[in-house]
Structure 1
Amino acid sequence: MDHVIFTYVLLGALAMALIVAAFTDLKSRIISNKLNIAIAAGAPFFWWATGLELWPGAALQLGLAAITFAICALFFAIGQMGGGDLKLLTVLALWFPPTQFVSLVLIMAMVGWVLTLVMGIWGVSRSNIVGARPVRDTAILIGCTLIAALFASSILGGPKLSLPLALSESVGGSVALALVPIAILAIVTLASIRIIRRHKHQPRIPYGLAISMAGLWVVAAALRLEITPILAS
């Protein structure tokens, strides 16, 4: 029982750290090394509280963190990711098993996509480029953002469209169902990029905020899984 309580405390502390990371990233675009070190230092205690063995459990988490660091370092090298964002995602890889971490990365991508479009709306609405039609382009971007938000919601378990059963049962229908979301994703993304570039606006991809929100999502899911059996009993 003590281990269970300690697990809750650690997950709560991680959630608080992620909230701090989100606010500092929004305020100063910086995620401090001290915060990332604190999150990393809490991981071994979490392993102990959850009964994770050194082999292969802890070793797998360290390997996942190393792979995450290597991939993020490539994004950092080409200027697409900040150092604080790189470190935050790497230390979070120490906490979550591969399946949950993949969910975190997927959520991060969806949230980051929507937030980037929102920041694009802000920049385009304030554009003073002659002949660029900011009002029209802002309206189009808002539409693209709403589509992106609905798409992200469906991917992350939100409401989905009800489709005819016959369509999903046929091979052609199944292929069409798979291609339609991809086509919508491509059209929305390319249209948004074109509009944003037309106004010579380069929105900063909010990785820190997206990572923090994704981490909070996964932490909340983990807490729900832990608490539900207790409430049921």
Structure 2
Amino acid sequence: MLEMVVIVTLIVPFCLALAAISDLFTMKIPNKLSAAILVSFLVFAPLVGLGWADYGMSIAAASAVFAVCFMLFAMNVMGGGDAKLLTATAIWFGFTPALISFLVTVAFVGGFITLIFLLLRANANTAMAMGIRLPASLVTESKIPYGIAIAIGGYLTFQQSPVVNLVLLAAS
């Protein structure tokens, strides 16, 4: 059981970290990271004892998040990689208060990161003159790498996930 605890509690944070790094430097989130987060839920949730009703509600919650993200993507407000990463991470929370906690945390962190990026872009020449190296995507892009906010929001709220709670309960 210890192996399952380690796998379940590390795979999502690891994928989120890689997604944040990729988004920061390339403004792209590889599909395989979102797929790994989604597939890990689909595999591990039943194994740790998540009931079929909760399993279905998690899929419904992810579908609802995807529908909103798809609309934002269609309006060119959100990137496709961000939409997929947010959806894949949301499935871990199901239709529970933890989902609201995750989404609100992502929104607040995203707002803070947006302010930081806008300030850095406005002062990029000054920062570079001082010898501070900034990623090219930070200076040249007009978009915000929201994968960073999704990753931080995921880190801060992942322990609230019903699946993680079941894993930790079984391990104790």
Question: One fold, TM greater than 0.5?
Answer: yes
The answer (yes or no) to whether the contact 2:98–2:160 under 8 Å persists in 1 is no
Query: CA, structure 1 residues 217+52, in 2 after alignment: closer, same or farther (shift >3 Å)?
Result: same
Give the Cα–Cα distance (whole angstroms) in 1 for the partners of residues 29 and 86 of structure 2. Answer: 11
Query: CA, structure 1 residues 202+212, in 2 after alignment: closer, same or farther (shift >3 Å)?
Result: same
Query: CA, structure 1 residues 99+213, in 2 after alignment: closer, same or farther (shift >3 Å)?
Result: same
Question: Are 2:152 and 1:213 equivalent residues in the alignment?
Answer: yes
Counterpart of 1:180 in structure 2 is none
Counterpart of 2:104 in structure 1 is 106
Give the Cα–Cα distance (whole angstroms) in 2 for the partners of residues 119 and 85 of structure 1. Answer: 17
Give the Cα–Cα distance (whole angstroms) in 2 for the partners of residues 123 and 224 of structure 1. Answer: 40
Aligned equivalent of 1:35, options 7, 30, 33: 33
Give the Cα–Cα distance (whole angstroms) in 2 for the partners of residues 110 and 202 of structure 1. Answer: 22
Question: Are 2:63 and 1:66 equivalent residues in the alignment?
Answer: yes
Deviation string 1:143-182 (CA, Å, 9 cap, x unpaired) is xxxxxxxxxxxxxxxxxxxxxxxxxxxxxxxxxxxxxxxx
Deviation string 1:80-117 (CA, Å, 9 cap, x unpaired) is 11101100111112212322121111111111111111
Give the Cα–Cα distance (whole angstroms) in 1 for the partners of residues 141 and 89 of structure 2. Answer: 28
Write the letter of the residue equivalent to 1:216.
Y
Give the Cα–Cα distance (whole angstroms) in 2 for the partners of residues 209 and 37 of structure 1. Answer: 17
Percent of paired sites with the same residue: 30
The answer (yes or no) to whether the contact 1:116–1:203 under 8 Å persists in 2 is no
5+ residue gaps in structure 2?
Answer: 126-139
Secondary structure of the residue aligned to 1:81 is coil
Q: Which has the greater radius of gyration?
A: 1
Deviation at 1:202, TM superposition (A): 8.5
Secondary structure of the residue aligned to 2:29 is coil
The answer (yes or no) to whether the contact 1:120–1:203 under 8 Å persists in 2 is no
**Larger RCO (CA under 8 A, 6+ residues apart):** 2
Query: CA, structure 1 residues 106+12, in 2 after alignment: closer, same or farther (shift >3 Å)?
Result: same
Counterpart of 2:116 in structure 1 is 118
* Aligned alpha-carbon RMSD (Å): 2.6
Deviation at 1:59, TM superposition (A): 0.8
Query: TM-score when scaled to structure 2?
Result: 0.79
Deviation at 1:204, TM superposition (A): 2.3
Query: TM-score when scaled to structure 1?
Result: 0.59
5+ residue gaps in structure 1?
Answer: 128-200
Question: Are 2:55 and 1:84 equivalent residues in the alignment?
Answer: no
Aligned equivalent of 1:11, options 6, 9, 12: 9
The answer (yes or no) to whether the contact 1:76–1:82 under 8 Å persists in 2 is yes
